[in-house]
Amino acid sequence: MIDRALLSAVLLGQLVLGGCARDASGDDASATVAEIRAATEKYRDVEVALADGYLRDPMDTCETPYHSGITGQHGVMGIHFVRPDLLGIDEEGTRLDVTGIHTDFLQPAILIYEPQPDGSLELVALENMVSAAAWEESGNSEPPAFEGVPYEFSPANPGMMTDALYDRHLWIHRDNPDGLTAQYNPNATCEHHVFHMPMIHPPGTTM
C-alpha cells in the first residue's frame, strides 16, 4: 500500500477562489516575471515564509526525478514549503489533496528551496497547484496557464487515491537551462539535504 504522505513527494476544506485575473484561455494575465520575482524576493528568508503561513513538507523531502521513477540527468526540484489555505487542504493534507484553484504567482501556493552546505535554504522556484475538478466547476474550459504555457496535467489515479490536478513551476530565483516552467532544474541540487528521521532501535536493544 502506498503511503500518501510519501506520494506527495512524487507529484508531489474550502476552495480558494481568490486567484489572479485570467483571460478566456485561463491564462494568468496580471503579473510579469519581473513583478513576480520582486514580490517573492522576501521569501529568500525562510523565516519570512514561515511567518506568512508556509509550512515545510512534513516528509522533509528534497524532491528529485528519482521520486517519480524518472532516470537520467534532469536536475532536481528541491524542498517544498506549502500554504495550506491557498491549496485548499487541511492540516493533515498533502499537496496532492489540493481542492483550490489559486493561480496567483504574486503570492504562490508553494515555495521551493535548495539545501545549502551550511544547512540553510535558498529559494529557487515557485509553484501553483490546482484541482482540475474545481477548476472546471468554476467555469473554465481551458487549463490554467502562465504566459501562454498551460500548466502540467496529472490525471486522477484511483489506485493511489489522487485526483486530477494541474501544476506549474516557475524557476524565478534560479536560472534553468531547461526553461522557466520546467519541472526539474539541472542547476539545482539535493546534495546537501540531510533527512532527519526518528532513530529506530531493534527489539531488545536500548539507547
- Does any domain span residue 178? no
In the predicted structure, residue 56 carries a pLDDT above the cut 50: yes
Query: Does residue 129 form part of some domain?
Result: yes
pTM for this entry: 0.79
* Domain range for 46: 4-170
Q: Is residue 14 part of a domain?
A: yes
Q: 203 exposed, middle or buried (CB, 10 Å; 0-12, 13-18, 19+)? A: exposed
Nine-digit cell string for 10: 512524487
Residue 202 is assigned to a structural domain of this protein: no
Residue 206 above 80 pLDDT? no
Domain assignment present for residue 207? The answer is: no
Number of independent structural domains in the chain: 1
What average pLDDT does range 86-100 have in this prediction?
87
* 84 within domain boundaries: yes
pLDDT at 192: 93
In tens, the pLDDT along 122-149 reads: 999 999 999 999 999 999 999 999 998 9
- Confidence band (pLDDT; 50, 70, 90) for 183? very high
Three-state SS string over 112-139 comes to EEEECCCCCEEEEEEEEEEEHHHHHHCC
Instruction: Report the b/e string of 70-105 with b at 16+ CB within 10 A.
Output: eeeebbbbbbbbbbbebbbbeeebbbbbbbbbbbbb
- The overall average pLDDT reported for the chain is 81
Express each pLDDT in 68-83 by its tens digit: 545 555 689 999 999 9
Helix runs in the chain, H state only: 4-7, 33-40, 46-51, 84-87, 132-137
User: What is the rounded CA–CA span in Å between residue 87 and residue 130?
Assistant: 7
Percentage above 90 pLDDT, the chain? 61
143-176 tens-digit pLDDT: 999 998 999 999 998 877 789 999 999 999 999 9
Residue 188 lies in a domain: no
| pLDDT of the residue at 51 | 98
Question: Is 63:78 a contact under the CB 8 Å cutoff?
Answer: yes
What local confidence, expressed as pLDDT, does residue 182 receive?
A: 94
Asked whether residue 10 is domain-assigned, the answer is yes
